[in-house]
Chains A and B, each alone.
Chain A
Amino acid sequence: MRRLTWAKSRRHELAHELGTSLVTALDVNTAVRRLVPIASPLRLAMRRFLANRPAVVGLIGILIIAGLCYTTLPWTLTRYNRQRLSAVLQPPGARHWMGTDRLGRDLLARFLLGGAISLAIGLISAGIAVGIGALVGLIAGYAGGRTDALLMRMVDVLYGLPTIFLVILLRVALLDRLTAAIAALGFARPQTVAGLLILLAGIGGVSWLTMARVVRSQVMSLRDQPFVEAARALGLRPLRIIGRHILPNLIGTVVVYATLTVPGAILAESFLSFLGLGVQPPLPTWGNLAAAGVLAINPIHIQWWLIFWPCAGLTIGLLCLNFLGDGLRDALDPRSR
């Protein structure tokens, strides 16, 4: 970003030397491009990202998976809970491409809807990480002093508790009351909705912490850079300094850590589903489908499709997201260069 500002001012100097009256702005631009080869940080990052083959594969993969899961929603939403008791535990075949489960429900529909819900949980957590984490990090890093100390103690408190314990605590404390409150509002399946909200609160409550810490340290180092000092010397208000000079420099970091939050949240949901604390059954997620599948492993007869499809979805989805996040980090995060 600094290089960009420098390049812009250099461009103005050159334009002045060449005589603005004689050369049109377009010519200046081409002239400058020839004199000073400029590659913007964004373009450099893009080049680095595209050179990272696993990351590109991950991006394409997750786009395909998300596309499949979300475009089929109208179909899956009508099918995911339709039971055909005459066709329970059927292996994959022409009528049910992924087979059917214990209640004769079509696994393909459940798999696709599960993927949509899992990805949504990941995306919401990423949203929380960006909304709360980046904001807290920004405030703590820029304000410093007592505000910083207070906010960081808050982060420390939540950091100390492992995610699972936090969800357990929230669930024990809030589930019944929240269920009652939601039932009073007249929603269908109040317990499921309450469980979902608690799950999101628990996973989201932890997912913003790393973001807050990383953004804070980044802001602290940016705050002392000459260009921010210059902006302050010019008398710009803090909000404007943050908006114009600090925030643009943070976008890379925020994107990277938001991306890395998504697989973390999906994985956390699968853990919690395995323990029976995740999204509750009629609604599918990759996590609770996989959990139901692995619990069905028994020595007598394995219904392999019950394990294989959800686990494949979970693993491939996580793989794509992790490779994507890792590639973005390599390309964008200045700390890992």
Chain B
Amino acid sequence: MFKYILRRLLLMIPTLLGMTLLLFAVVRFAPGLTTAGGQFAAGQMKSRQAQRQQEQFIARRLHLVGKNGRPIALPMQYLLWLRSTCEGHFGTSLEYNEPVLKLIAQRLPVTLTYNLISLLLVYIIAIPGGMLAAVKRGGWFDRGFGIFTLALYSLPVILVGSLLLGFLADPQYLKWFPSAGLHATNTQNMTYFQYLGDYLYHITLPVACLTYGGFAYLVKQVRGSMLENMRQDFVRTARAKGLKGSTVLIRHVFRNSLLPLITISAGILPGLLGGSVVVEQIFSIKGMGALAYSATYSRDLPVIQTIALIGGVITLLSYLITDLCYTIADPRVSYD
């Protein structure tokens, strides 16, 4: 087991290196690397000399030039950047003038929390739905549910999000939900449960937006793997032993059908992270997505670079974790 984890971790290294190389190449290709961000952030005119000084400062910070002011060769720039990244120095945001790591540490938990809630919801609804569809194969529920989830998947988030916001969170129509942010303004004098309630109240619409499209694929997978397992010999054996239909379904078919779902969950999370850029924009949530969006317009390269890198690492880790869960859950899979 330990050896397997170690091997998987080692296998992640080339992928990570590839990612850093790609990010490095893209960022170094960007024009105006040293002039970007800085001059907008301060918002005041600078003398030409101050401007040049700042450019030199940024150039040094990005390892474009050495301490003595000489330009550094490109491969060396990459290695230097890689070293500082490995040491945990992700640079300083050009827009906020704060360490990127600090910004992301503020934003990532926000995005991750409601993404995980959404992931959980998708599974809670899709698994029983898929099971029922498989049991009643070809029936009205099977067909109807399949069409319904696929139709939901086809609705663009921008439309659904804006309509929800425009009609359910607007005093003109129905003021059922708050229209922006994740917390009320008076959070400090709330008890823990009030705080939790307030949070859930605020994330209802964003989570609904992230969730509704996710069912189609998962329901299909659950249904497919249930049907496949129902045809297996061990199911026939269980029936022949005289077990009740429901027992066979839950103890034998369902347990085995869960296995492929574990691996699928890895692919869903990155998609949700990407989707949260739009959702955060619609519902004015200050998370990773909003950070990436504002960084795009202010050309805040260290921030974009780090967000992409962290997104990549999260993806790789989620693949690793799901594979580990799979080997734990299925004794037939060996670690080697």
> Are B159 and A275 within 8 A (Cβ)?
no
Min CB distance B102 to A, Å, is 20
Chain B residue at minimum C-beta to C-beta distance from A312: B159
In whole angstroms, what is the CA distance A176 to B22 when docked? 19
Chain A residue at minimum C-beta to C-beta distance from B274: A162
Name the B residues within 8 Å of A161 (CB-CB).
Answer: 19, 22, 308, 311-312, 315
Min CB distance A146 to B, Å, is 12
Instruction: List residues of chain B with CB under 8 Å of any chain A CB.
Output: 14-15, 18-19, 22-23, 26-27, 29-32, 147, 150-151, 153-159, 162-163, 165-166, 170-173, 216, 220, 224, 270-271, 273-275, 277-278, 281, 292-293, 296, 299, 301, 304, 307-308, 311-313, 315-316
Name the B residues within 8 Å of A287 (CB-CB).
Answer: 156
Chain A residue at minimum C-beta to C-beta distance from B318: A160
Min CB distance B330 to A, Å, is 19
Min CB distance B288 to A, Å, is 10
Identify A294's interface contact among B32, B158, B274, CB under 8 A.
B158
Chain A interface size range: 35 or more
> Are B156 and A314 within 8 A (Cβ)?
yes
> Are A156 and B15 within 8 A (Cβ)?
yes
Name the A residues within 8 Å of B273 (CB-CB).
Answer: 162
CB contacts between A and B, total, < 8 Å: 138
- Confirm or deny: A14 has a beta carbon within 8 angstroms of a beta carbon on chain B: no
Name the A residues within 8 Å of B292 (CB-CB).
Answer: 164-165, 168
Min CB distance B93 to A, Å, is 14
> Are B15 and A172 within 8 A (Cβ)?
no
In whole angstroms, what is the CA distance A290 to B19 when docked? 34
In whole angstroms, what is the CA distance A122 to B103 when docked? 36
Chain A residue at minimum C-beta to C-beta distance from B296: A168
Chain B residue at minimum C-beta to C-beta distance from A270: B156
Chain A residue at minimum C-beta to C-beta distance from B213: A267
> Are A319 and B27 within 8 A (Cβ)?
no
Identify B304's interface contact among A169, A274, A277, A311, CB under 8 A.
A169
Q: A165-B311, A315-B154, A326-B150 are known contacts. Are A173 and B172 too (CB-CB below 8 A)?
A: no
Min CB distance B301 to A, Å, is 7
Name the B residues within 8 Å of A153 (CB-CB).
Answer: 14-15, 18
Q: Identify which of residues 136-190 in chain A touch chain B, using a CB-to-CB cut-off of 8 Å.
A: 153-154, 156-166, 168-174, 176-177
**Shortest 9 CB-CB distances between A and B: which pairs?**
A162-B274, A160-B312, A294-B162, A299-B172, A157-B18, A318-B154, A173-B30, A319-B154, A160-B315
Q: A54-B147, A157-B18, A165-B308 are known contacts. Are A291 and B154 too (CB-CB below 8 A)?
A: no
Name the B residues within 8 Å of A165 (CB-CB).
Answer: 274, 292, 304, 307-308, 311
Min CB distance B100 to A, Å, is 15
